[in-house]
Chain A
Amino acid sequence: MSDYLWDKTGEADKDVKRLEGLLGEFRHRPRALELPAEVGGHDISQFRAPRLFRPAWLAVAAALLLVVLAGALFVLRRGAAGGDERREQKRREQNQAATRDQQSAPRQAPSSLVVEPGNDKTAPGVDQVAKRNERNGADVRDEQIGKGGRALKDESSARQAVSRKPEGLQDGGGVASKRRGGVTSAAFSPKERDGDAGGATPRAVGESAPLEGRRLEERRRLAKDDLMYALRLTGIKLKEVQRKAQKVDGWKSAFDEQKPKQVTGKP
């Protein structure tokens, strides 16, 4: 490459020289610049794009809007979770009231629900009641689980397996389930929790009425299961809330990373 084409030094290139002469006709001819009078005398900075519409500001505004939306979503979800807890609390209270009512009822006429061994006539009906109660309880639990997903369903089925009563005790289980309305609560009076049913000690009950003692034990076991279930449900809900909170934090950090950088030197 000749130096002449680059910086006009050295031996002149014949073709380049000729093209320069030929195209020189189109060269810029100095001409006075005509600037309108109204533009002069003002601070030129006033012609900059309005601050509100600069890309950096728009990006920051969009990021803030998203953060606010995410926060609102989080608060709404949290409120919904709180609503569930309140509903559950209300159910518990109702169940406790029902249990108190039922505590006096068996003393008056409990024998109609008690299945005597070998009583084939009453057994099928009582079985059906017990199964129906179990099903209702499972439905209510599933409803409570809500978005708990597969893990909770598994847990519900496990719970059902636990709540299945042995032969001959289905009437008691049915009564207990009916009393509790199939809701996860340990709705037993302090007496029952201590094994003191109707003023008699467990040993006395075991001696006088072994069936009653087994029923009480079964109730205690069910109450324990219910308590465990409620604790697990609460734990899962807490984990869900924690996960959502972490997600919101992740969004915040993502927004922080995407903060616009200023570019200089380009028109």
Chain B
Amino acid sequence: MFEVETSKLLLMEGERKEAEAAVPAPEAALVASARAGDREAFARLYDMYAPLVHGVLLARVPYDEVGDLAQDVFLVAFRKLGSLRDAGRFGPWVAMIARNRATDFHRRARATEELREEVAHAGGREAEAAEALEIIRSLPEAYRETLVLRLVEGMTGPEIAARTGLQPASVRVNLHRGMKLLRERLGMRGRGV
């Protein structure tokens, strides 16, 4: 029993190292340059973290709104970059801004019904994709963000862990359980996904 626990811990440690290896090294330097007013550096940060912000927002708000909201998130990040204390944690920080922005969006606007109407009018593959996305959004928060980042944005588990600041083991569990729930719900609806 003890050996099994130890091997699990070693596996998790290996995953953590793997995740750390996936972290882009110049992130802190880019943050420092952007703080000094270097727009190029911030543009590179945007390129690196735009899929993450997009995925975080897509797990919470309608697809049509995601693009504009992502721009807002990066604008806020650029303005408040001075308040980021650990320059190496830009990813978790900007993801948190995105989550807060999505919450603000739901407080102010009631646009989710419109998306459902769009889904109803769309046909074929598009409708199927929209419905799958809707089902993912109905999953618990911990699963839906991880699944969107994996299935929509195409990130691997270690990349998700590195960008969001989550433990690789947690990401792995979330992916596994989320996928299981997704399969069940898609099967219940009679879809042949």
Q: What residues make up the interface of A, taking CB atoms closer than 8 Å to B?
A: 1, 5-8, 15-16, 18-20, 22-28, 30-31, 33-36, 39-49, 264-267
A23:B133 contact, CB within 8 angstroms: yes
Apart from A6-B156, A15-B183, A28-B51, list 17 A-B contacts with CB within 8 A.
A1-B176, A7-B157, A7-B158, A16-B179, A20-B154, A22-B128, A22-B132, A26-B58, A26-B129, A30-B47, A30-B50, A31-B71, A33-B42, A33-B46, A39-B75, A39-B79, A43-B36
Top 7 closest pairs, chain A to chain B, by CB: A267-B93, A28-B54, A45-B82, A265-B86, A6-B157, A48-B82, A264-B85
A27 to chain B: which residues have CB within 8 Å?
Answer: 51, 54, 152-154
- CA–CA, A25 and B129, complex, Å: 8
- CA–CA, A49 and B85, complex, Å: 13
B153:A267 contact, CB within 8 angstroms: no
Given contacts A43-B37, A267-B93, A267-B97, contact A35 B193 (CB under 8 A): no
B157 to chain A: which residues have CB within 8 Å?
Answer: 5-7
A40:B37 contact, CB within 8 angstroms: yes
- Chain B facing A: main interface SS: helix
Counting chain B residues whose Cβ lies within 8 A of the other chain, the interface size class is 35 or more
A33:B179 contact, CB within 8 angstroms: no
B137 CB → nearest A CB, Å: 11
Q: Which residue of B lies closest to A14 (CB)?
A: B193
B166 within 8 A of A: no
Please pick, from A15, A26, A47, A48, the residue contacting B63 in the complex, using a CB distance under 8 A.
A26
B84 within 8 A of A: yes
Given contacts A24-B154, A40-B39, A45-B35, contact A19 B176 (CB under 8 A): no
Q: Which residue of A lies closest to B37 (CB)?
A: A41
Q: Which residue of A lies closest to B94 (CB)?
A: A267
- CA–CA, A16 and B175, complex, Å: 11
A18:B193 contact, CB within 8 angstroms: yes
B116-166 CB contacts (< 8 Å) to partner A: 125-126, 128-129, 132-133, 136, 148, 150-154, 156-158
Q: Which residue of B lies closest to A265 (CB)?
A: B86
- CA–CA, A230 and B75, complex, Å: 76
Please pick, from B35, B58, B94, B126, the residue contacting A44 in the complex, using a CB distance under 8 A.
B35
Given contacts A5-B175, A26-B133, contact A31 B153 (CB under 8 A): no
